[in-house]
Amino acid sequence: MLKNNPNVLRIEDDVIMEALVQRGSAKISKRPPQPSEVFPWGVDRIDAEKVWLSGNTADPIKVGVIDTGISNKHPDLLGNVKGGVDTINSFKSWNDDNGHGSHVAGIIAAIDNDIGVIGVGPQIDLYAIKVLGANGSGYLSDVIEGIEWAIKNHMQVINMSLGTTSDSQLLHDAVIAAKNTGIVIVAAAGNSGSSVNFPAAYPEVIAVSATDQNNQLASWSSRGPELICLLLV
């Protein structure tokens, strides 16, 4: 049996991980022509533009977006995408077939190009780490593989707007390994209004909750002692 094999460290269920998103907010719009660029209130609320005045637009910080992929056609993103991987199927592209990953990537690093929106760091180097499928869910093993890819490819930041209520030592081990290489790890707390999901609940991770435009904690946002900061959405 596997559990008696000295080369097997641990056996766990390959649980399902879900993209953490408010319903209907992350689908890629197909409405040509592109709308004129707007300055998102969330980016304004954290005063990102005040940092840009010093010339700091996060170039060339490498951010791995561990999610459903990133669109390989979106003009507000593609110029900042420097590579990626599909851990679900290594023979397929990292292209986003859901929309959630592109939505997240836009918050992080949409280009300052007169269309769409502008991201927190408009010159960040984005890497699409596709671990979730078209339905916005995927297996724990693919998420762990995505974290391992981020380590091997020297990401400086990884973002995981995904989660599960199931604690996993294998996932925690991967997170610890990433932290030990110097990667800053950010994850969504969750949208259930209850306790913080994993991996956000791990102490090595910056757990991010949500506020509204009145600076109030969103009613649907997960909360708990693990929270470090708030994501304005």
Which positions of the chain have pLDDT values less than 70?
1, 3, 22-33, 228-233
CB environment 82-118: b (16+ within 10 A), e (fewer): eebbbbbeeeeebbbbbbbbbbbbbbbbbbbeebbbb
How is 113-132 classified by DSSP, letter by letter? SSBSB--SSTT-EEEEEE-S
- Asked whether 64 and 151 are in contact (CB, 8 A), the reply is no
Q: Which CATH class is domain 35-232?
A: alpha beta
pLDDT of residue 231: 47
Strand order in the sheet with 137-139: 137-139, 16-19, 162-163
pLDDT of residue 73: 94
pLDDT of residue 214: 82
For the whole prediction, is pTM greater than 0.85? yes
Domain edges within the chain: 35-232
Helices (H), 72-115: 100-109
